[in-house]
Chains A and B, each alone.
Chain A
Amino acid sequence: MITVSQLSKRFVVSRRKSGLKQATKSLFHREREFVQALDNVSFTIPDGQVVGYIGPNGAGKSTTVKILSGILTPDSGECDINGRTPWKQRREHVAEMGVVFGQRSQLWWDVPVGDSFDLLRDIYRVPENRYRANVAELTERLQLEEILRTPARQLSLGQRMRCEIAASLLHDPKVLFLDEPTIGLDAVSKLAVRDFIREINRDRGVTVILTTHDMQDIEALAQRILLIGKGRVLLDGTLEQLKQQYGRGSVTVSYSGGEVQKLSELEIVEQEPGRLTVSTDGSREDTARVIAQLTAALSITDISVKGPDAEEMVVSLYREYRV
C-alpha cells in the first residue's frame, strides 16, 4: 500500500541567457529561480496495482519516482510505503523495492551481467535458493541465457533493458518503479518487456508504478492512470474512464450517392467529394447512431470506424490542462 499526501518539492535553477557577456555577468550575479517540481501531490495505490504515471516532460514524474524510491527528500508532505517513509528509512525501504531508470544503467559496465547479478544478490542478501530460482525464472522469461555471460557494454539496448529489469527483480521486491522502461526499444523488445511486466504483476502480485511517454505501454499495462502536470495530479482514473470522458472517435465513409445535407446534425470533421469523416464521442452507442444515420442518408461503398486513440487523447488532455 502506497499513500502519498501533500508531497511538494522545488528545485533551484540558475538561469542565464546565452552569450559571453551574460556568462561574465553571471559570474558576479546569478539569477536563481525556483521550479516547483511537485505541488501538493496526493494519491493512494493499493497492493498489486499497475499504475501508469503520465505527464509531459518536466511534469514531475521522475521527481515523484525518486522521492518514492528514497533518493530525494521532499520539502514537505508525507509518504508511506508498506509502513515506511522512504527518505527516512531508506535502507529498509529499498530492500523491498526494485527500480529501473530507463535512461541509466545499474549493471557493471566491464563485467558479465551474471557478475552484476551476483553482486546484487550479496547486496540484498538474497538467500541462495531464492536467488537461483529467481535467476532461472527471469532467464527463461526474458531469454537471457547467453546474455548473462556477456559484459554489459557489449549488449544491445534491448538486451540491456531486459537485464536491467531482471536485475531489479532479483530480491523479490514488493514494489517496482519503472521510469521509462521502454525508451528507445524496438517493437519486439517493447512487446517482450510489456508482456513480462504484466506476468510479473499477475504472478507475483508486485505493485508497479510505470512512467512512460509511450501510450501503448499504458494501454497494454496500466489498470489505472495518474496524470500529472506542472507538479499537480490532474486526473486519476482508469483508461476506460478517461476514454469515455476525453476520447474522441470517428467514422469515415466513402459513398457513391445520397444526400449529404440530411446529415446536418452530425459533426463533420472532413469532407471531400465522395468521402466524409464524422466524429463520435468514442462510445459504442454513439458510433452506432452515427453509422445508422450515415447509412440512411448515403449509399456507402466503404466504411471505417476509429475508436479513441490514447495518444490523441493525451495530447488533448495536455492541451486542456495547459501543461
Chain B
Amino acid sequence: MKKYASFFRIRFVNALQYRAAALAGMATQFFWGGMLLLMFAAFYHSAPESFPMDFQALSCYIWLQQAFLAMLNSWAFENDIFEAISSGNIAYELCRPMGLYGQWFVKAAANRVARAVLRCVPVLVFAALLPAPYGITLPPNVGAALLFVFSLFLALGVVVAFTMVIYIITFYTISPTGVRMAATSAAELLSGSLLPLPFFPEGLRQLAELLPFASMQNVPLRVYSGELSGQAAAWSVGLQVFWLAALLALGVWMMHRALHRVVVQGG
C-alpha cells in the first residue's frame, strides 16, 4: 500500500504547483454556477409547479457540482497516460513491480483530489454567503452528510474507473480523440452535469439513473441536500458500489488482455 500512497503523494504535490490554473478554474466556476442558477431561477419563476426539484436543493446541487468539478467531471483525462501510450513511455511504467492499472488509477485519482482540494473551499465559502435559496446550506442531518462523503468518494472511484477504460482502449486505437469524445459526450449528459437528472423526461430519467454515469455526479450531489434520501438513497449508493466494482473489473480485465499484445511505440 505504501507504494500507492507515495505515488499519490508525488502526484498530489505535482498538481498543487499549478496555482494560476486553480485561480482561473475557480473564477470560471463562480461565474458558471451563477449563470446556471439565474437560468434555473427564470424557469422556476415562470412555472414553479412544473419544477421537479426544491429550489434550495438545486442550489446545493449546482454549488457542490462547481466545488467538486475537478474531482467528478468526466472530461478530464491524464495527458501523461495518453502520452505514455502513444509515445511508448509506458515501457518504464511496465518495469515497475506494481500493476499498471493500480499506478494509473492512483495517478488519476490523486490529480483529481489535488485539484479539487485547491478549488472547493473558496467556492463553498462563497456559496454559503449567498442569500437563500441561492446559496448552499448545510445538509439536513448528520446521516445525509456522512452519506454524501461516502457517495462522493464512490463517485470519484466510478469516474476514474470509467476513464481507465478509455485509457485502455487507447492501447488499440493509439489516438485517444475519438473514444474520448464519444465517452465524454455521453457522460456529460447522462451524469447530470449539464442538467440534473430530475429534469429529464420520464422514462429517460429512469434509464439514466440506472446507468453508470448517474453514479458520477447525480447521486452524491442529490444525497447532500436530502433530495435523495431513505430507501432511494440506499438504492442509488448501492448502484454506485455496483458500478464501481463492475468498471474496476472490466478495466482490470481489459488491461490484462491489452498488455499481452502491447507494442511499445517509437522504438
Query: Measuring CB to CB, which residues of chain A are less than 8 angstroms from any residue of chain B?
Result: 11, 62, 66, 69-73, 90-92, 94-95, 97, 99, 101, 103-106, 108, 110-111, 115-116, 118-119, 122-125
A124 to chain B, nearest CB (A): 6
A8 to chain B, nearest CB (A): 15
B89/A104 in contact, CB under 8 A: yes
Question: Please, could you name 27 A-B residue pairs with CB atoms under 8 Å apart, sorted by A?
Answer: A11-B263, A70-B95, A71-B94, A71-B262, A71-B264, A72-B263, A73-B261, A91-B98, A91-B99, A94-B96, A94-B97, A97-B95, A99-B95, A104-B89, A104-B92, A105-B89, A105-B92, A106-B92, A108-B10, A108-B14, A116-B10, A118-B6, A119-B6, A119-B7, A122-B5, A123-B96, A125-B2
A95 to B259, CA, bound (A): 18
A91 to B89, CA, bound (A): 18
B3/A94 in contact, CB under 8 A: no
B45 within 8 A of A: no
B206 within 8 A of A: no
B96/A101 in contact, CB under 8 A: no
B132 to chain A, nearest CB (A): 43
Given contacts A70-B95, A122-B2, 5 further A-B pairs with CB under 8 A are: A71-B91, A94-B94, A110-B17, A119-B7, A125-B3
**8 Å CB contact of A115 from B5, B13, B91:** B13
A121 to chain B, nearest CB (A): 8
A11 to B10, CA, bound (A): 36
A125 to B5, CA, bound (A): 12
A116 to B13, CA, bound (A): 12
Enumerate the 10 nearest inter-chain pairs by beta-carbon distance, A residue then B residue, closest first: A122-B6, A95-B97, A106-B92, A71-B94, A91-B97, A123-B3, A122-B3, A119-B10, A94-B97, A99-B95
A101/B97 in contact, CB under 8 A: no
A144 to B94, CA, bound (A): 26
A111/B10 in contact, CB under 8 A: yes
B248 to chain A, nearest CB (A): 19
Q: A residues within 8 A CB of B139?
A: none
Q: A residues within 8 A CB of B3?
A: 122-123, 125
A235 to chain B, nearest CB (A): 23
- The residue among B10, B92, B94, B260 with the most chain A CB atoms within 10 A of its own CB is B92
- Look across to chain A and name the residue whose beta carbon is closest to the beta carbon of B7: A119
| B244-267 interface (Cβ within 8 A of A) | 259-264, 266-267
A122 to B7, CA, bound (A): 8
Q: B residues within 8 A CB of A90?
A: 94
A123/B262 in contact, CB under 8 A: no
B92-110 interface mask toward A, CB cutoff 8 Å, 1 = contact, 0 = none?
Answer: 1011111100000000000
Q: B residues within 8 A CB of A70?
A: 94-95
Q: B residues within 8 A CB of A103?
A: 266-267
A92/B97 in contact, CB under 8 A: yes
Q: A residues within 8 A CB of B261?
A: 73
A122 to B8, CA, bound (A): 11
A101/B91 in contact, CB under 8 A: yes
A104-B89, A111-B13, A122-B2 known; A69+B97 contact, CB < 8 A: no
Q: B residues within 8 A CB of A115?
A: 10, 13
B97/A104 in contact, CB under 8 A: no
B88 within 8 A of A: yes
B88/A104 in contact, CB under 8 A: yes
**8 Å CB contact of A62 from B10, B90, B267:** B267
Q: B residues within 8 A CB of A71?
A: 90-91, 94-95, 262, 264
- Look across to chain B and name the residue whose beta carbon is closest to the beta carbon of A97: B95
B93 to chain A, nearest CB (A): 9
A308 to chain B, nearest CB (A): 30
Q: B residues within 8 A CB of A97?
A: 95
B213 to chain A, nearest CB (A): 32
B11 to chain A, nearest CB (A): 9
Q: B residues within 8 A CB of A72?
A: 262-264
A11-B263, A71-B262 known; A124+B97 contact, CB < 8 A: yes
A214 to B138, CA, bound (A): 68
**8 Å CB contact of B14 from A95, A99, A111, A118:** A111
Q: A residues within 8 A CB of B92?
A: 99, 101, 104-106
- Look across to chain A and name the residue whose beta carbon is closest to the beta carbon of B17: A110
A66/B13 in contact, CB under 8 A: no
| B31-86 interface (Cβ within 8 A of A) | none
A62-B267, A101-B91, A104-B92 known; A123+B97 contact, CB < 8 A: yes
A123/B98 in contact, CB under 8 A: yes
B16 to chain A, nearest CB (A): 11
**8 Å CB contact of B95 from A69, A108, A111:** A69
A130 to chain B, nearest CB (A): 15
B264/A66 in contact, CB under 8 A: yes
- Look across to chain A and name the residue whose beta carbon is closest to the beta carbon of B92: A106
- The residue among A70, A71, A101, A105 with the most chain B CB atoms within 10 A of its own CB is A71
